[in-house]
Chain A
Amino acid sequence: MSRMQAPVILLKEGTDSSQGVPQIISNINACQAIADAVRTTLGPRGMDKLMVDDQGRCVISNDGATILKTLDIVHPAAKTLVDIAKSQDAEVGDGTTSVTLIAGELLKEMKPFIEDGVHPQIIIRAVRKAASLAVEKIKNIAVPIKKGNPKEMKELLLKCASTALSSKLVAASKDFFAAMVVDAVMMLDDLLPLNMIGIKKVTGGALEDSVLVAGVAFKKTFSYAGFEMQPKTYTKPKIAMLNIELELKAERENAEVRVDNVEEYQSIVDAEWKILYDKLDKIHHSGAKVVLSKLPIGDVATQYFADRDMFCAGRVPEEDLRRTMKACGGSIQTTSQSLTPDVLGTCETFEEVQLGGERFNMFKGCPQAKTCTIILRGGAEQFMEETERSLHDAIMIVRRAIKNDSVVAGGGAVETELSYHLREHSHTIAGKEQLLISAYAKALEVIPRQLCDNAGFDATNILNKLRQRHAQGGRWFGVNILKEDISDNLEDCVWEPAVVKINALTAASEATCLILSVDETIKNPRSGQGDQPGAGRGRGRPM
C-alpha cells in the first residue's frame, strides 16, 4: 500500500494482495460476519432465515449448512466456515450452526492475541491442544447407551431426535416426528443406509397427517389410456421390476427395411407387434401382477396389462425402483427373457392411494422391510422443504446415536463443562498457552450464551449460574429454555450424540487453525472480474 520505492512488479497488474497481521485480522472479521449470519438460528428459540436468490426462488431455513450454502459466499477465508458447516452436515448431519458459531467465536477470542503480536503458530498449537483436551473430556464424560434393552434404546433415541427437532419449524409436533424418525431408522438394516429412507412431500393436510410407510411409496407415474381399468389393490402380488421399454417402437434406431411388395408390409408389422407381445406374454406368464419399469410403458402394454388384471407403472424413478427392490426382494431385470420366480419380488399388499391431490403407489408389508418411506404433509411447499431438512437432521442424529453409543447433554451443558475443564487445566500450565487455552474455554461459552440471547434471557446472569453449578460438580447443567433458568439437561432429556460434539469441536478448531495460518491472500484479478456480470470474461486481457 504505502511502499514508495521503485516498485518491483512481481504480479500481474490488478492483482489484489494483502499480507501480514492485518490480513489475518481482516480474515477473522470476515468469518465473524458469517457467524453472525447464522447466530440467531441456534436453539429452540432460534429464528429462521429467508433467502431469495436471483431467480426469485426462496429458501426458508434454520439449518446452518443450508443457510450458508444458499448465501453464496465468495470471500475466500469465510468460505472455510461454509466448508466446515458442510462437512459437519455430511459427517453427522446436525450441529451445523454450532460448528460455525464455535469457529467464529474462537477466531474472535484469538483476535486480540494476534493484535498483540503473538505468533499465529503458537496460537495454533494452543488451539490444537485445547481441542484434543476437550475431545478427550467429552469421551470421558459421555454417557454410554445400553444397547441390550431395545425399549430403553428406543426411548433414548427418541430423546436425541426430539432434541434435534426442538429448534426447527416443526418443534410444536416434535414428539410426533421424533417417534416417526426413530421408527424409520429402526426399520433399516445394520448399515443404516440413509437413501433407504425415502421422503415424499404432498402439499395439503396438516403436519400430523404425515405418515410413515413401512415399505415403499412413490407418486403415481404418468400413465396411458387403459391405466384406469387396471385393478388398484392386490394382496401378495408378485412384482416384476424391469428396465425395459414396453412400447411399440423401432427396434433399431438406424435400421431401414426395404419392402419389395405390399404383402411383406403386413408381415413386418406383424413381426414388430410380435416382438412386443412376446415380451408382454413372458411377463404375464411369469405370474407377476405388478409391473414396474424404469423406462416408459406404452399404451399398448398398458392396455395389455389392463386386460389381464395386472398393474403397471412406467418411468418409475430409479431411486424408488431400487428401494422397491430392497424392500420386496427380487431384482431389476433388463430383459424379459429370464423372468423366473426368484427375480420377482413380493409384498403383503399393494395399493394405489389418494393423498391430497396426488396418488401414491404403496407397497406394504414387504418381506425384507429394510426400507421405509415418510410421506410429509403440510401447508406450503417451503414449509415441507424445511420439514424435510429438519427430519434429515433428526434421522442423521438417530443414526449416529445408534452407531456411536454415547450421548451428552445438550442445551449448552457439555460446552460449559468443557469450558470449565479447560479453564481449570489452563491454570496448571505455564507460558502463553495458559492464556490461549482459557481463551478457548471462553469461546466455548458462546453456545449457552447464544441460546440465552436467542430466547431473550439475560445471558450473563444465566451463564454465571451455569459456571457456578459446574464448578460445584453439576456436570450436566445447561440452559433450560422453558423455565428461563438452568437445569440438569441429562434428566430433562435434552440429549445429543457425543460424536456430534466431537466432530463440531474438531472441525471448528481445524478451521480456526487454518484461518490463523494464512497471512497472505493473492487474488487473481480475473476471478474478481468474473463476479461482476457484464464485465468481459476475456482470458488474459490486460487491464
Chain B
Amino acid sequence: MNAPMGQIAFDEYGRPFIILRDQDRKSRLTGLDAHKSHILAAKSVANILKTSLGPKGLDKMMVSPDGDITVTNDGATILDLMDVDHQIAKLMVQLSKSQDDEIGDGTTGVVVLAGALLEQSEKLLDRGIHPIRIADGYEMAAKIAVATLDKISDTFDVDLKKPEPLIKLAMTTLGSKIVNRCHRQMAEIAVNAIMSVADLKRKDVDFELIKVQGKVGGKLEDTMLVKGVIVDKDMSHPQMPKVVKDAKMAILTCPFEPPKPKTKHKLDITSVEDYKKLREYELKTFENMVQSVKDKGANLVICQWGFDDEANHLLLQKELPAVRWVGGPEIELIAIATGGRIVPRFEELTTEKLGKAGIVRELTFGTTKERMLVIEECKNTRAVTLLIRGGNKMIVEEAKRSLHDALCVIRNLVRDGRVVYGGGAPEIAASLAVAEAADKIATLEQYAVRAFSEALEAVPLALAENSGLAPIQTLAEVKSRQVKEKNPRLGIDCLLKGTNDMKEQNVIETLMAKKQQILLATQLVRMILKIDDIRAPMDM
C-alpha cells in the first residue's frame, strides 16, 4: 500500500492541515492501483474455490477459532466460514450467498466466473480501456450469453408419477458432494421429499414443510425420509409406551400445571390446613386436567412447556403418554402434519382439535440412549422430515448441506421447468455465441465482450482440471466439436464415462441457476470495476 500521498494538503506556512478525522491513519488507493488490488483480492478468493468445482472437486476443511471443524465443498459455506476481511473479498462472499439464497446451488461456479471476469478485465485495464466501458461490454455480453442459454435450454416435465428424470437431476447436484457414496439413495430421498410437499399448481415448494434433521451415528445409508415429523425428544417418562398407534394428540402450548396468573400475586398461607388445601387444589387441578384431556379422546400429549415430576407420574398413572419441551417450530410442524390445532388452554381443548397420526413411535439409536420421536402416517402428508445419519458430525453436516442443495435444485425445477445440460456445456455454448457476437461490435466494447467469452471458459477449464484431464486440450476439443456438430450439449466428461454428450450422461442443471450465475457475476464485476478510490483505516 502506498502512503496516503497527495492526501495531505499544506497551508502557506508549510504545515500540513488535517481535513479528515484521523487522516494520518487512513490509507487511500486510487485509480489503477485500486483496480489492481481489487482484482487481486477477488482472484485469490476465486482460486480458493476453483478446486471445489465439479464432481471431482475436492473439499475444504475449515477450523473455526473455537476448534469446530467443517468439511465442505459448498462454495457459500466455505466463503462464509473463511471469515474474510478484505472488502472486495467480502463482496465475493455476499455474491455466493445471494446465489445461495435465491437458487441454493451453483455457489462455487458464480465465484469462479466472477474471478475469471475480473482476471480478464485486468488485461483490458492494462491496455488502457476505461473500466466502465469494460463493465458495459460485460453487460452486453451477459445479455448475449443469457439469450444463448434460453435458446439451448430444454423443457423438463415435472411429473409426480415419473420421478426418474428428477432423480437424475438431483444426482448431478449431489455428484460433487461427499454423499456420492449413496448417490442414488440421497437423490431419491430429495426428490420424494420435494414431491410430497410441492404445490404444482402454484409452482411453489414451501421449504418450511421440509425439515432436515441430522443425527450422528449409523451409516449414511441409514438416512431416511420420514413422511411425518421427527422430534428430537422422548416420552416424558421412561415407562410410558414407546409406540402409540392411532394416536390422537393434544397439542398444548400451556404448561401442564395449575394455571398461574401473570399479575404478581401472593398467597398467604397461615395454617397447616391452608397448606393442605393448596396441595389438594393442585392435585385436583392436575387430575382435572389429565381427565379433561383423556375425556376428549386424546391418547398422547405434546406440550410446548414442561411439567414437573409429580405431573409426570400422574400422567403415567392415568396412562396418558406425554412429550414435553417441544420447540415452537416443531409444535407447528406437528400441528400441520397431523391436522390438529394448537391449544393454548385446557378449557379450549375439544375432540376436533386433536391431531391424528397413524403411529407415533420412539426411535432408539444403536447403543446410545438417545431417542427421537417419529410421528408417521399423518393426516396431512405434506410435512416431511429427512433424517440424516452418518459416521461423524462433519459428514452429517455436509450431508445436510448437500441435500439442501439438491432440494433447492428440484424446487427450482418445479418453479421453472427449463433446464440446460451441465458439465460446462452451457458455458462453452455461451462463450462461442458471445465470441461470435463480439466481432460484430464496432466500439471499444468489442474487447470486453471477447474477454467475457474467454472468462466463461473458466468453468469448463476448472472442471477439466479438477477431473485430472488436460484442461486446455480437453476444452479445445469440446469447443471444436460443439461448433462442428452444432450440439450445445457437449461438455467436459468429468466422470470419464466415454461420452461428451451431457444429455446422455444425464448431467442436468436448471436454466434459472445458470442465468442467475452469469447475471450476478456480471453485476458484481461491474460494481468492483466502478470503484476507483478506496479509503480504509490503515492496518493496525
Contacts and interface: CB of A to CB of B under 8 A. Distances in A.
A339 interface: no
A132 interface: no
A261 B333 CA distance: 41
Given A33-B9, A259-B265, A205 B341 contact: no
Given A73-B21, A255-B264, A45 B102 contact: no
A203 B98 contact: yes
A206 B266 contact: no
Contacts of B164: none
Contact of B332 (A32, A203, A228): A228
Contacts of A261: 274, 277
A530 B514 CA distance: 54
Contacts of B264: 250, 254-257
A319 interface: no
Contact of B520 (A22, A29, A206, A269): A206
**Residue of A75, A226, A356 with highest tally of chain B CB at under 10 A:** A226
Given A49-B531, A380-B524, A228 B208 contact: yes
B193 interface: no
Contact of B342 (A169, A226, A256, A378): A226
B446 to A, nearest CB: 15
Contacts of A254: 264
A379 B11 contact: no
Nearest to A259: B267
Contact of B263 (A22, A52, A255): A255
**Most-contacted residue by chain A among B7, B19, B20, B524 (CB, 10 A):** B19
Interface in A27-62: 29-30, 32-34, 37, 40, 44-45, 47-54, 56, 58, 60, 62
Given A229-B342, A258-B265, A25 B12 contact: yes
A335 interface: no
Contact of B131 (A47, A271, A382): A47
Interface string B253-296: 10000111111111110000010011001000100000000000
A205 B329 CA distance: 28
B41 to A, nearest CB: 12
Nearest to A51: B535
B523 interface: yes
Contact of B344 (A37, A203, A269, A299): A299
A238 B531 CA distance: 49
Nearest to B333: A228
Contacts of A269: 259-261
A164 B515 CA distance: 29
A265 B267 contact: yes
A286 interface: no
A26 B520 contact: no
Interface stretch (B88-96, B426-434, B467-475): B88-96
B303 to A, nearest CB: 12
Contact of A203 (B101, B133, B263, B285): B101
Nearest to B331: A225
A258 B341 contact: no
A173 to B, nearest CB: 9
B152 interface: no
Given A29-B9, A30-B17, A307-B341, A205 B102 contact: yes
Interface in A264-290: 265-266, 268-269, 271-273
A531 B537 contact: no
A26 B101 contact: no
A60 B531 contact: yes
B328 interface: yes
B527 interface: yes
B345 interface: yes
Contact of A380 (B94, B131, B345): B94
Contacts of A378: 98, 523
A258 B530 CA distance: 70
B533 A40 contact: yes
A229 B94 contact: no
Interface string B505-524: 00000000001100110011
12 contacts: A33-B9, A47-B531, A51-B536, A52-B535, A78-B19, A225-B329, A256-B266, A257-B261, A266-B259, A303-B341, A379-B98, A531-B21
Interface of A: 1, 18, 22, 25-26, 29-30, 32-34, 37, 40, 44-45, 47-54, 56, 58, 60, 62, 71-75, 78, 169, 172, 203-207, 224-229, 248-252, 254-263, 265-266, 268-269, 271-273, 299-300, 303-304, 306-307, 354, 356-357, 378-383, 386, 455-456, 531
Given A226-B253, A379-B520, 20 more contacts: A1-B13, A25-B12, A30-B17, A45-B132, A50-B534, A58-B90, A60-B527, A75-B18, A172-B139, A203-B97, A204-B99, A226-B335, A257-B261, A258-B265, A263-B281, A266-B285, A268-B265, A303-B344, A354-B206, A379-B523
